[in-house]
């Protein structure tokens, strides 16, 4: 049995019938899960250092004795009243063979690497990845690898976008990011050879473990007895942002993909002679197929939706517009859209929001969800999509008025009205000014949103909105030099509502930054 101050001791075991019982050391205190949940405002780099050092040491001892833990997670990291950190639950632990490999066991989604999910032979680098995941969660304030099932967990590890931990702390050197990401590499051959190597690289960037243990002791001890006797105020309700779970985010993302894809399919199919009409079974079959694709894979649903929109334009007598949209959709999807759900949903925001007159929501959503370059490129594609939809009737980037234009083909194309409308828009300087403002607004929002806090997300939305307002005013001046620079009240309302929606989204963001008690 393993014996070390950083490992919860196992004194004995008993077997009754078909059940085995472990008799273990009792640790009075709290788990790391409770610390992160209830005392996140007291988390410092010293505390992170104390936890990291103890868990790394416990794993080193286990690995030296040929034992793999296989279930390192906050629930299995205990902190006693003295601030000492101990690793528990070696129930999944396996003995490594002579080459240092063991048989894959259970584990917990969010804290186990790909090789453990795939039930491959495991070595010390499996525990190293789990330790890196726990450390990332302490530093960034969230675990990006949590998922409802193994398939989505593998996607999160292989394709997830991780926040740089150094951006979440004012006093954490950016050089600390490399060791963490090195240990989190999906391919174990690319990680450190041992937990000891990982600890040696990361520890210099963290705080003082001794100070961290003292702080942990104070946290576990809690308020003194005199304070305990005072009547406690009623606990506040759970903030709305804390009720947004990873599962809810996943559901919302795929629901958005389904809705956007279905809307594009509906518009396209109702304006193609072979599929139009609610009594047409082909209409319902294709609509459900595209909606299902959007629900399962938003990027695939988005591609199908834009392809059908392009085909509709070609078949309704505007082949040039249809071919341009098809080419733009293909380039956007190949380089950006297929990379993840966020990019696909950002592009789908234009037809979705534009259907109810909230066109400005598109570039703000792109800047909010994507990195600067991807946001600006996606906004450029939004401009193309918004232009095509505006040509169906509204002639405005503010929205395409779904209630009026959803079945436009019968009357509009009789006099080539759509092509004339698109040509007129292209000749207007205001159109190009609006297009530029969308791209710049997405870039401005994304640039400030790079720092993952609610404050900077709000600044990003406000900056993007300011760029859009500037574009509206300049477009109005160029469109009618003698007219007032103020835009139509409906346009102003559209921008205000769009900005309000995105500011609310910024409010719902979990804030990964931590503050000292003196800041409270």
467 and 320 in a single domain? The answer is yes
What pLDDT, in 10s, does the model give residues 202-215?
999 998 999 999 99
* Predicted pLDDT of residue 480: 44
Tokens found for residue 28: 């009075």
Is residue 235 very low, low, confident or very high in pLDDT (cuts 50, 70, 90)? low
More reliable by pLDDT, 227 or 108:
108
Does residue 155 carry a pLDDT above 60?
A: yes
In 3D space, the residue among 401, 397, 392, 398 whose CA is nearest the CA of residue 420 turns out to be 392
Distances (CA, A) of 470 to 292, 332, 457: 39, 27, 20
Collect all residues with Cβ–Cβ distance below 8 Å to 177 and sequence separation of at least 6. Answer: 164, 165, 166
167 and 306 in a single domain? The answer is no
182 and 285 in a single domain? The answer is no
472 and 328 in a single domain? The answer is yes
211 and 327 in a single domain? The answer is no
189 and 257 in a single domain? The answer is no
* Predicted pLDDT of residue 241: 60
Gap between the Cα atoms of 202 and 206, Å rounded: 7
* Predicted pLDDT of residue 26: 74
* Predicted pLDDT of residue 482: 34
103 and 50 in a single domain? The answer is yes
Residue 422 lies in a domain: yes
411 and 325 in a single domain? The answer is yes
Residue 167 lies in a domain: yes
pLDDT > 90: percent of the chain: 51
Does residue 483 carry a pLDDT above 70?
A: no
The domain boundary residue, chosen from 199, 219, 239:
219
| Mean pLDDT, residues 3-11 | 78
Residue 4 lies in a domain: no
In 3D space, the residue among 157, 168, 391, 369 whose CA is nearest the CA of residue 252 turns out to be 369
Residue 108 lies in a domain: yes
76 and 212 in a single domain? The answer is yes
Is residue 234 very low, low, confident or very high in pLDDT (cuts 50, 70, 90)? low
Residue 40 lies in a domain: yes
Collect all residues with Cβ–Cβ distance below 8 Å to 249 and sequence separation of at least 6. Answer: none
77 in helix, strand or coil? strand
More reliable by pLDDT, 175 or 228:
175
Least confident of 50-64, 72-86, 104-118, 227-241: 227-241
Domain count, the chain: 2
* Predicted pLDDT of residue 337: 92
Residue 21 lies in a domain: no
The domain boundary residue, chosen from 198, 219, 240:
219
87 and 36 in a single domain? The answer is yes
Does residue 516 carry a pLDDT above 80?
A: no
Tokens found for residue 313: 């334009």
What pLDDT, in 10s, does the model give residues 348-367?
999 999 999 999 999 999 99
When mean pLDDT is compared over 105-119, 345-359, 503-517, the highest value belongs to 345-359
* Predicted pLDDT of residue 93: 55
80 and 186 in a single domain? The answer is yes
What number of H helices and E strands is found in the chain?
A: 22, 7
| Mean pLDDT, residues 82-101 | 65
More reliable by pLDDT, 7 or 22:
7
Q: What is the CATH number of the domain that holds 110?
A: 1.10.510.10
| Mean pLDDT, residues 319-335 | 95
Q: How many CB atoms lie within 10 A of CB 311?
A: 16
What pLDDT, in 10s, does the model give residues 249-306?
889 899 999 999 999 999 999 989 899 889 999 999 999 999 999 999 999 999 999 9
Average pLDDT, the chain: 84
* Predicted pLDDT of residue 400: 83
| Mean pLDDT, residues 15-30 | 71
Q: How many CB atoms lie within 10 A of CB 196?
A: 17
94 and 209 in a single domain? The answer is yes
Distances (CA, A) of 248 to 86, 241, 361: 33, 11, 21
Structural domain including 318 reads 248-507
* Predicted pLDDT of residue 464: 94
What pLDDT, in 10s, does the model give residues 236-253?
555 666 666 777 888 989
What pLDDT, in 10s, does the model give residues 371-393?
999 999 999 999 999 999 998 88
Residue 120 lies in a domain: yes
The domain boundary residue, chosen from 180, 199, 219:
219
Residue 236 lies in a domain: no
| Mean pLDDT, residues 14-35 | 75
* Predicted pLDDT of residue 334: 95
Q: What kind and span of H or E run contains 492?
A: helix 489-507
What pLDDT, in 10s, does the model give residues 31-75?
999 999 989 888 999 999 999 999 999 999 888 888 888 889 999
* Predicted pLDDT of residue 102: 46
Which parts of 297-401 fold into alpha helices (H)? Answer: 298-315, 319-335, 341-354, 361-369, 372-390
């Amino acid at each position: 049995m393993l014996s070390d101050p950083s490992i919860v001791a196992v004194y004995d075991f008993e077997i009754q019938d078909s059940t085995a019982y472990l008799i273990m050391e009792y640790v009075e205190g709290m788990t790391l899960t409770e610390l992160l949940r209830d005392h996140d405002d007291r988390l410092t780099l010293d505390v992170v250092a104390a936890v990291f050092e103890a868990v790394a040491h416990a794993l080193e001892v286990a690995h030296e004795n040929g034992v793999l833990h296989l279930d390192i997670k906050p629930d299995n990291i205990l902190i006693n009243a003295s601030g000492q950190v101990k690793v528990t639950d070696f129930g999944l632990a396996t003995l490594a063979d002579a080459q240092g490999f063991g048989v894959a066991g259970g584990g917990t989604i969010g804290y186990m690497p790909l090789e453990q999910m795939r039930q491959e032979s495991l070595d010390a680098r499996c525990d190293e990845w789990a330790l890196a995941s726990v450390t990332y969660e302490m530093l960034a304030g969230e675990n990006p690898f949590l998922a409802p099932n193994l398939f989505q967990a593998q996607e999160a590890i292989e394709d997830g976008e991780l926040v740089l931990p150094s951006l979440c702390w004012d006093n954490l050197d950016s050089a600390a990011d490399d060791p963490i990401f090195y240990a989190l590499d999906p391919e174990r051959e690319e990680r450190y050879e041992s937990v000891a190597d990982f600890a040696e690289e990361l520890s210099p960037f963290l705080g003082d473990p001794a100070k961290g243990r003292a702080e942990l002791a104070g946290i576990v001890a809690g308020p003194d007895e005199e304070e305990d006797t005072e009547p406690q105020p009623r606990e506040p309700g759970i903030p709305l942002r804390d009720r947004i779970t990873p599962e809810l985010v996943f559901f919302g993302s795929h629901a958005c993909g389904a809705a956007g894809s279905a809307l594009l399919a509906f518009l396209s199919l109702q304006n193609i002679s072979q599929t139009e009409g609610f009594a047409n079974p082909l209409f319902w079959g294709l609509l459900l197929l595209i909606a299902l694709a959007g629900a399962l894979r938003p990027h695939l649903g988005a591609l199908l939706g834009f392809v059908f929109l392009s085909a509709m334009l070609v078949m309704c007598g505007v082949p040039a517009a249809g071919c341009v949209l098809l080419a733009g959709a293909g380039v956007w999807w190949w380089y950006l859209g297929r990379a993840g759900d966020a990019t696909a949903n950002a592009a789908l925001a234009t037809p979705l929001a534009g259907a109810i007159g909230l066109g400005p929501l598109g570039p703000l959503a792109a800047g909010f969800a994507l990195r600067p370059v991807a946001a600006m490129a996606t906004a450029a594609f939004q401009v193309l999509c918004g232009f095509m939809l505006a040509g169906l009737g509204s002639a405005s980037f503010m929205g395409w008025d779904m209630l009026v234009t959803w079945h436009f083909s019968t009357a509009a194309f009789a006099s080539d009205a759509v092509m004339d409308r698109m040509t007129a828009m292209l000749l207007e300087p205001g159109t190009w000014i609006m297009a530029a403002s969308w791209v710049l607004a997405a870039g401005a929002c994304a640039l400030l949103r790079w720092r993952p806090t609610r404050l900077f997300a709000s600044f990003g939305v406000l900056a993007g909105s300011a760029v859009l307002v500037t574009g509206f005013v300049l477009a109005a001046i160029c469109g009618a030099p003698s007219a007032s620079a103020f835009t139509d009240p409906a346009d102003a309302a559209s921008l205000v509502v769009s900005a309000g929606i995105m500011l609310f989204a910024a409010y719902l963001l979990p804030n990964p930054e931590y503050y000292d008690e003196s800041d409270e």
